[in-house]
Amino acid sequence: MAKTKLKAKAKSFLPKRIGGVKVPKVARKGRFGAFIASAKGQALIAEVVMAGVGMVMAKKVKDSPKARGAIAEAKAKATRGVKAAKKKASSLGARTP
């Protein structure tokens, strides 16, 4: 009896609950569960989470005048830096697009 429980536990790839949300048995035990438990699956999950965070942050930036101002300031600073680099390169005889 103990051996069958160990075998069943060895085939289990994911926990029954993740973050308080029940994971269906089909997802835990099948090919999908094996993929999600692998390194590639975990990388995929990380990318999806980061994309979601990026979308939320984009929404926050869109709604925040302070963030918009900071972005505009950074853009202006970068533009000035590019113009200064082009000017310096042209004074040294380099061709710039």
Q: Could you read off the pLDDT of 52-70 as tens digits, one per residue?
A: 888 888 888 878 888 888 8
Judge whether 19 lies within some domain: yes
Phi/psi region, residue 73 (left: phi>0; alpha: psi -120 to 50; beta: rest), is alpha
Cα 8 to Cα 25: distance, rounded to the nearest angstrom: 13
In terms of domains, do 22 and 57 share one? yes
User: In this structure, how many other beta carbons lie within 10 angstroms of the beta carbon of residue 28?
Assistant: 20
The structure's pTM equals: 0.46
Which of the four pLDDT bands, split at 50, 70 and 90, describes residue 5?
low
In terms of domains, do 14 and 51 share one? yes
Judge whether 27 lies within some domain: yes
Domain carrying residue 72: 66-97
